[in-house]
Amino acid sequence: MVKEILKGLALTFQQMWKKPITLQYPEERKLMPARARGRHQLQRYEVGMERCIGCGLCSAVCPSNCITVVPAENAEEDRHSPGERYSQIYRINEFRCIFCGYCQEACPVDAIILTEEYEFSAYSRDEFVYDKERLLVSLSRQPQGADRSPEPIS
């Protein structure tokens, strides 16, 4: 009996001197592994043009059917993406998403990526449906030099 108690306490004492794994969120944040899959983001080219061409492959591959893409045709005066097609509406329901990352894998132009961001909270459920405006990386935050400029597509 005493033996068992001592054994248990030994473990307790052992752990007491280790660094706790609890993070003091939100002051402290966890560093996510490089391939973590969090909230989606739509990428741009260096020149600011959207990468997404609205092909809809992400929505076709999505196992939980949470991506809506409505394509449209680019006009010369109002070009959103290289090529003829762009996504007029791009919407992801993050509630339904299972963060499998298939969309990222299916995308032929590396337009959609899953970022490390995992902090989902909002005051209404609607806010979990992300539209293109919120998904697109903002022009100022986009990584410098990391992206190629669009190739001319004939």
Instruction: Summarize as ranges the residues that interact with other proteins (CB under 8 A).
Output: 53-57, 59-60, 70-73, 83-85, 108-109, 153-154
Q: How far is the CB of 133 from other proteins (least distance, A)?
A: 21
Cβ distance to other proteins smaller for residue 39 or 82 = 82
Report which DSSP code applies to 147. Answer: S
Cβ distance to other proteins smaller for residue 8 or 63 = 63
Q: How far is the CB of 44 from other proteins (least distance, A)?
A: 17
Radius of gyration of the chain (CA): 22
Q: How far is the CB of 59 from other proteins (least distance, A)?
A: 8
Residues 54 and 69 sit within 8 Å (Cβ to Cβ): yes
Strands (E), 8-108: 40-42, 67-73, 85-93
Cβ distance to other proteins smaller for residue 23 or 89 = 89
Residues 83 and 74 sit within 8 Å (Cβ to Cβ): yes
